[in-house]
Structure 1
């Protein structure tokens, strides 16, 4: 993985408020299409997560089709553990 990683959590704001990866950004899945340009402007390797990997998988596919270099990290707890946070 790249040195600088950016975690985007696509769960709802309520889910995000109940627990999330430190320094992650919450962009709920239903907002992703309207925020593509904002996401494209972000620096670092983008890893998307959600509760289990389904919504982040949908967001990853959509963003990759829009030219965004990103990957589906899966569930946020697994990403947090994998990154040692």
Structure 2
């Protein structure tokens, strides 16, 4: 499974790189703040919302600590998606968030 640190992902965003971030946390967690521009798809809804993800794009998967996003990354990889897990999750995110 491909992984990236929160710091590396923040650098990509700061440098202006177009990134697609999917936050798989639950609603109440996301309400506390998410990476700006991140798409919110709770982990349990991922299998039913595959039509919202483009197989031609690369996605960075995010959760609170990296476990659930790791599960989502593995699931999506098996379905043919290009995905990378953000290790450490939002607990390691030191940059701005949107609410």
Q: TM-score scaled by structure 2?
A: 0.70
Query: Which of 48, 64, 71 does residue 61 from structure 2 map onto?
Result: 48
Residues paired across the two proteins, number:
81
Aligned to 1:21: 35
Aligned twin of 2:77: 64
- Contact 1:4 1:44 (C-alpha < 8 Å) held by counterparts: no
TM (norm. structure 1) is: 0.81
Residue equivalent to 2:19: 5
How far apart, in 1, do the equivalents of 2:37 and 2:91 lie? 14
1:23 partner SS: coil
Gap regions ≥5 residues in structure 1: none
Name 2:50's counterpart in structure 1.
Answer: 36
List structure 1 runs of 4+ shifted beyond 6 angstroms.
none
Give 1:37 deviation, angstroms. 2.2
Unaligned runs of 5+ in 2: 1-8
